[in-house]
Structure 1
Amino acid sequence: MRIQSEQYREALLSHVYAVAPVDFNSPVVSCDCLAHMYGNAADHPERQRRYPSDMTDAEWLAVRPLLPTPSWLEGRGGQPEGYCHRQMLDAIRYLVAGGISWRSMPADFPHWARVYAFFRRWRESGLVAEFHDRLRGKVREREGREAEPTAGIIDAQSVKAAASVPAASRGFDGGKLINGRKRHIVTDCLGLLLVVAVTAANIGDREAAVGLLRRLRELHRDICLVWADGGYTGALIDWCRHKLAFALEVVKRTDDMEGFVVLPRRWVVERTLGWLMHSRRLCRDYETLTATSEAMIQWPMITRMSRRLARPRPCGRH
């Protein structure tokens, strides 16, 4: 462990992502996040990492260059932060994985109100999506693919809503017999999230797909094909062809299929929905705002991709 710690410290000092040399606020370089380097975080003691959701040193080295630069560092307003970015990321990962409430944040993390303020600022500024998309591009390149996908898979998932979800943004899904919300997602062929939208559960798949696929076209100009299940048939196929200039191909079950059958392409997005349910915060929708629900869906994907980037490359791959 001591050898690994020394190797990490050497890597930390040789890969500092700063715009210029800087004097640290602490005699001991415990972290190279921008809050430690330029902010006031160095006065806070280093936190001992103890939870399964905490980032390893290998993960931090992989994601650190992809973190959005704070606005105060680029002269766009705001004050230097007083809390370590790595601790903030670990705190949000802990909350999503463990399904706790904000006020139940363990004492070894920054105060829950500071963590929530960080989460809300990133959500409102679009930094969660920016960080997520940077990670996705790196994972795709690591797998030998282009950073931008050319095909996707669409699906939806209904989940029960907690009492904290207002009546205006919840509904009853008659097909699944669920009173709550519905998550509409599009993934690439690796199962990585491209776009997400959260609606009331009574909103139909085709109705929600109009806005979701329009946003997919705006964010990913190279998309030329999207696979879907039988819930997306009808006029939506022609609308995608004429309005969005890509093909929507429906993968249906045949009449001779019995029981559980793995369908081509559709299993990829269904696996992603299964990945999301590994996070206890997502087993039920607890969020007042649908925008917060969408951010909560992006965070476990951020964790999954950062772990994937930190994983050693298989032999024979470059």
Structure 2
Amino acid sequence: MSFYLVAGQGAPTAPARPGVHLPTVRPRRYPSDTTDAEWTIMAPFVPVSGSESGRGGRPVAYPRRDIVDAIRYLTRNGGVWRALPVDFPPWRTVYHYFRTWIGDNTLNQLHSNLRDQARRAEGRQTGPTAAIMDSQSVKAAETVARTSRGFDAGKKINGRKRHIVIDTTGLLLTVLVTSAAVQDRHAARTLLTAVRMCFPTIRKIWADGGYTGQLVTWATATLGITIDIVNKLAGQTTFQALPRRWVVERTLAWITRHRRTVRDYERRPDHHAAIIQWAMITIMTRRLTR
């Protein structure tokens, strides 16, 4: 089984190294482009340069805002890295920063701080006390290796599965990417352990019938988390908005509005998790600057 876990930070993280971002001169022509207001709240958490002052390194050639806009364009509109429009920086440069920001925790810090700001804007504490858990299987493209994909017999899908935990407003807390063959209750142990470590204030999680069994007892005894199973209504054969569960289903719908997430094109599971984070970053910046 190949998987990748992204857990949000439980406490506010510091901004990136101080400095002044190179201004952009590229016209804002795509719906996915950052507005001035969005960039203002994102810029403090995007590294200004690749090296510290006085320690050498190449000078910045492309504004970081253009790099961010290119990643958001790919996330929202799909396509391939090599087909990025020519008004963005070269695709190799954009892809380099996409990978670098995963590895140096920049992406996780950016996502976590925006989520904290979004919660505070709604009058909530940054540490949630309750959450909702669910999963979604997606077909995998031919670029996904056989070792990191599987067959979901229930959904009849060959690909990967993304397991997510969200807060009660629909914002992403944790995402785990596995083979689609992995059962929800098996992946949930890894997912819940990460939730307990990063969000110790959470005491209750709502989930669907796929998480019943020993998982409920284990979560209470080991992690101190109560799992409340929200079952389907008697005789239900079509979609109905069930209490609490509709919130996570709405978040999954938000994610799949971004075309890069409709199918898993990423060779590595951590890249697919990162695309999900970028989708949520766009959602949160739009919410904060609405």
TM over 0.5: yes
Q: Give the partner amino acid of 2:216.
A: I
Contact kept? 2:45, 2:106, Cα under 8 Å: no
Contact kept? 2:18, 2:48, Cα under 8 Å: no
Report how far residue 76 of structure 1 moved: 8.4
Encode CA deviations 1:125-149: one digit per residue, 9 max, x unaligned.
1211110000000000000000111
Contact kept? 1:62, 1:310, Cα under 8 Å: no
Contact kept? 2:132, 2:206, Cα under 8 Å: yes
Structure 1 residues 284 and 258: alpha-carbon distance in aligned structure 2, compared to 1, 3 A threshold: closer
Encode CA deviations 1:216-267: one digit per residue, 9 max, x unaligned.
1111111111110000000001111111111111111232545322110000
Other structure's SS at 1:294 match:
helix
Find the partner of 1:64 among 37, 43, 51.
43
Mark the runs of 5 or more structure 2 residues left unpaired by the alignment: 1-15
Q: Distance in 2 between matches of 1:64 and 1:51?
A: 19
Normalised by the length of structure 1, the TM-score is: 0.82
1:206 is the counterpart of 2:194: no
Q: Distance in 1 between matches of 2:41 and 2:156?
A: 42
Q: Which residue of 2 aligns with 1:13?
A: none
Q: Distance in 1 between matches of 2:39 and 2:55?
A: 26
Aligned residues: 275
Q: Which residue of 1 aligns with 2:75?
A: 96
Contact kept? 1:66, 1:135, Cα under 8 Å: no
Q: Which has the larger radius of gyration?
A: 1
Q: Which residue of 2 aligns with 1:158?
A: 137
Encode CA deviations 1:257-316: one digit per residue, 9 max, x unaligned.
4532211000000000001110110110000110111001100100010111111xxxxx
Contact kept? 2:51, 2:57, Cα under 8 Å: yes
Structure 1 residues 78 and 292: alpha-carbon distance in aligned structure 2, compared to 1, 3 A threshold: farther
Alignment of 1:114-193 (within 5 A): 114-193=93-172
Q: Distance in 1 between matches of 2:44 and 2:225?
A: 34
| Percent identity for Structure 1 against Structure 2 | 49
Encode CA deviations 1:94-120: one digit per residue, 9 max, x unaligned.
001110100001110000000000000
Alignment of 1:1-318 (within 5 A): 19=18, 33=21, 36=22, 46-67=25-46, 72-73=51-52, 79-257=58-236, 259-311=238-290
Other structure's SS at 1:72 match:
coil
Q: Distance in 2 between matches of 1:18 and 1:259?
A: 51
Mark the runs of 5 or more structure 1 residues left unpaired by the alignment: 1-16, 21-31, 37-41, 312-318
Structure 1 residues 243 and 71: alpha-carbon distance in aligned structure 2, compared to 1, 3 A threshold: farther
Contact kept? 1:161, 1:170, Cα under 8 Å: yes
C-alpha RMSD over aligned residues: 2.0
More helix by share: 1
Other structure's SS at 2:51 match:
helix
Contact kept? 2:131, 2:166, Cα under 8 Å: yes
Q: Give the partner amino acid of 2:135.
A: A
Report how far residue 62 of structure 1 moved: 2.6
Q: Give the partner amino acid of 2:94.
A: V
Structure 1 residues 77 and 288: alpha-carbon distance in aligned structure 2, compared to 1, 3 A threshold: farther
Report how far residue 65 of structure 1 moved: 3.0
Encode CA deviations 1:61-98: one digit per residue, 9 max, x unaligned.
23223435656237888655322111111000000111
Contact kept? 1:59, 1:306, Cα under 8 Å: yes
User: After alignment, is 255-264 or 237-246 more displaced?
Assistant: 255-264
Structure 1 residues 110 and 71: alpha-carbon distance in aligned structure 2, compared to 1, 3 A threshold: closer
